[in-house]
Amino acid sequence: MEGILEVLASIRTRDLIDIALLTAIIYWLLQLIKGTRTIPILLGLTVLLATYGLAEVLDLAAISWLMQNLFSATVVILVVLFQADIRNALARLGISTMFREISSTAQNDLIAEVAEAAAALAGKKIGASIVLEKETGLRNYIDRWTSLMAEPTVALFLSIFHTSSPLHDWAVIINREGLLAAARCILPLTSNPAASKRLGTRHRSALGLTEESDALVVIVSEERGKISLACRGELIRDLAPAELRATIAQLLKGKGREDAISESPPQTKTA
């Protein structure tokens, strides 16, 4: 008991601050990777580390040599594997949440317009991609393509994505201020080899953008007339308008992908 009291007495204020900051950083990192493909990769690295430990204990020279050379390049490997997550983490530092500049009523109205437009486009089997910018800035896409800076309405979405419109190809981007900032934006294709080969360009480009940013992308399939939502490199497929609206609202509140799906109306399908 006296030993415990001595240890407690030796703890300085700076030590408590150090522990608190370290705890906050670890918690933030866990929240950052929650629901992403980072966790399986970390588990894989943990297995490699355990294999190395076992090889050292059993004195397996070949395995130990291989693991030592592998871990010598660990920093480079981690940067390559987690480049999108590192970029997102740095971008999120000190940046406000999406649509902080507009009221919650305006945000709800915007979500309603997007969901209604997606439903109308799906009913007509008109393909579309609608990007919602969050904390990671998308100016490199907005500035490069056709600038609009207009109030997003169902009529405007239908006009842009109509096949006779010169702007109907590719995606539109809604910025953090809630404005339809740009149209005919070309998005990067997914680099994930596990992505289904049956996915079209719209779905693959939506996945690609959400792999390197925290944006949300609403996709309307031209062939199937179905609505999907891309988030963190994954697709939530075959959404009804009410499901889409509820899921977007939850994700914009900072909910994780799984939490947003569980709190949205039933029959949400993922792939």
Residue 252 lies in a domain: yes
How many domains does the structure of the chain reveal? 2
% residues pLDDT > 70 (the chain): 75
Residue 158 lies in a domain: yes
Residue 97 lies in a domain: no
pTM to 2 decimal places: 0.59
For 247, other C-beta atoms within 10 Å of its C-beta total: 26
Q: pLDDT, tens digit, for every residue of 186-196?
A: 888 887 777 77
Q: Are residues 173 and 147 in the same domain?
A: yes
Q: How confident is the model at residue 243 (pLDDT cuts 50, 70, 90)?
A: very high
Q: Are residues 127 and 31 in the same domain?
A: no
3-state secondary structure 143-200: CCCEEEEECCCHHHHHHHHCCCCCCCCCEEEECCCCCEEEEEECCCCCCCCCCCCCCC
